[in-house]
Structure 1
């Protein structure tokens, strides 16, 4: 880093580091062998449990040891007090802070919560607050978002109350903070789908109009970000959107969206001298849908594909194939 003097590795320092590394490797191998032997001998003691802690702190991706840790806990469950479960949650949280993208840590935390000696919603609501803090540190951690869906589902099952509207607002806040949050856009897809299916949207037509405005504002904010473009494609192809609006209003929505995207693409050309790849791709999708609905008055798909060949040469063969299908 700038302003920080590099450490000068002399022969002696390198020798010392090599000795330390060899010692660490030896200790790790010895501990691994010891714990695996305990597992194979089916030793379910507090001593064995502590050794799994030491090993998992060194290697949290060792899933077999997480499994053994759960076996020990299950066998000792009749002797365990609430304090044990709280300490276990604290231990897992320490690992998550250091390794937030290791599946096995998330899986173990979920298991601990599912076996926590109470069914009250308080423990799951507390967990939702924990996830909020984790996503504040890394708002795009898809492990955290997946885990959040599970926690919300648990709360909904216990309380028999839907949290879809609250979660929808949560995605809005996260997207407003960072439009590039693909995980938040993906979460939005899940929630909107459920809200439509469960009839949780009172005025669906008004909601769709508001969401389209939100989408257009998002692409004007950052037309280079791919997250919003994936969401647009899903939204305009959603069957519920078509059925709610009816063909005439649906087609008008697509035409309005197309006009805005053309405007954004022209702005990009004026600013950088280049076409916007995502604008061209979604324009192709829009023309395809309009054609399916017998509402395409003039096709520019051939021109869009030709422009994509120049703008996105890595996918040239795909565009040539699509161009061939047009003719």
Structure 2
């Protein structure tokens, strides 16, 4: 019996469970000017994926195939979209899918396809109970990850997660007073939270900003916030 390692090294088209699939090679025309030199295992997997696209199959083996492909190319939007449709069709696969996305976000945090994919899953679940911890874990690695901040704003707005925003932002500013992303988030919260920005808090807010300016007078982030 073949081990799991042997299976990982076997091309998808050569595996017994894929024997019913006729791979579809990429058509680059009769005389391609600069043919792309894909790795053999990736090219083979994509050939199988094209066959799956044609048959519109949604199955656990599709999840296995697309997992391999997005690990090889996290920016492949078409594969991500097909995987999403398959996961939603196989609703029992959603919980482990979030674990997989946790791993992918840690490995390639700047791939916007991963963040869009997670947003689609959480929207479908209508449950953001794990998102606060997940987002903070990602920001602990890179506190200026634009994709993570954009996702955070979506989650906060979509699920009304306003309560912890200012404490979290203040913590990030305390760690790095030059973190423009954190300053931007503070401004966004003040402008968009349900209670809005109360004029009675203006003096207190100015005092907070001036205190940060004194720590680093040439830091443009709090000056831009104060101007806003």
Q: Aligning the two structures, in what range does the TM-score lie when normalised by the shorter sequence?
A: 0.7 to 0.9
Report the counterpart of residue 185 of structure 1 in structure 2: 183
Shift in CA distance, 208/85, structure 1 to aligned 2, threshold 3 Å: same
Q: Is the 8 A contact 1:124 1:154 kept in 2?
A: no
- CA change 1:88–1:178 in 2 (3 A) is same
Describe the superposition over 1:228-282 as per-residue Cα deviations: whole angstroms up to 9, x where unpaired: 2221221xxxxxxxxxxxxxxxxxxxxxxxxxxxxxxxxxxxxxxxxxxxxxxxx
Q: Give the Cα–Cα distance (whole angstroms) in 1 for the partners of residues 196 and 187 of structure 2.
A: 15
| Residue aligned with 1:60, SS | coil
Q: What are the Cα deviations for residues 117-142 of structure 1, in whole angstroms up to 9, with x where unaligned?
A: xx5xxx41222121122212222112
Q: How far is the alpha carbon of 1:24 from its aligned partner? A: 7.3
- Report the Cα distance in structure 1 between the residues aligned to 2:197 and 2:211, rounded to whole angstroms: 24
Tell me, yes or no, if the aligned pair for 2:190 and 2:196 is still in contact at 8 Å: no
Answer with 1 or 2: which has the greater Rg: 1
Aligned to 1:229, which of 204, 223, 226? Answer: 223
Q: Which residue of 1 aligns with 2:14?
A: none
Query: Would you say how many aligned residue pairs link Structure 1 and Structure 2?
Result: 193
CA apart distance, 1:107: 0.9
Gaps of 5+ in 1: 1-22, 157-162, 235-327
Query: So what's the TM-score if we normalise by structure 2?
Result: 0.76
- The more displaced of 145-154 and 180-189 is 145-154
Question: Per-residue CA shift, 1:203-235, capped at 9, x if unaligned?
Answer: x33x2112212222222211232222221221x
Q: Is the 8 A contact 1:125 1:155 kept in 2?
A: no
Query: Out of 20, 28, 41, which is 2:55 matched to?
Result: 41
Runs of 4+ more than 4 Å apart:
none
Q: CA deviation at 1:179?
A: 0.9
Q: 2:67 aligns to what?
A: 53
Q: Contact 2:156/2:162 (CA < 8 Å) preserved in 1? A: no
1:65 and 2:79 correspond? yes
Which of the residues 215, 239, 243 maps onto 2:209?
A: 215
Q: Which has the higher contact order (CA 8 A, sep 6+)?
A: 2
The match for 2:173 is 175
Tell me which residue corresponds to 2:121.
112
Task: Compute the displacement of 1:199 (Å).
Answer: 5.0
Matched, 1:88 2:82: no
Which residue in 1 is equivalent to 2:142? 138
Counterpart of 1:103?
A: 112
Structure 1-normalised TM-score? Answer: 0.54
1:198 maps onto 2:202 in alignment? no
Aligned partners of 2:97, 2:164: CA distance in 1, in Å? 29
Partner Cα distance (1:199, 1:95) in 2 = 36
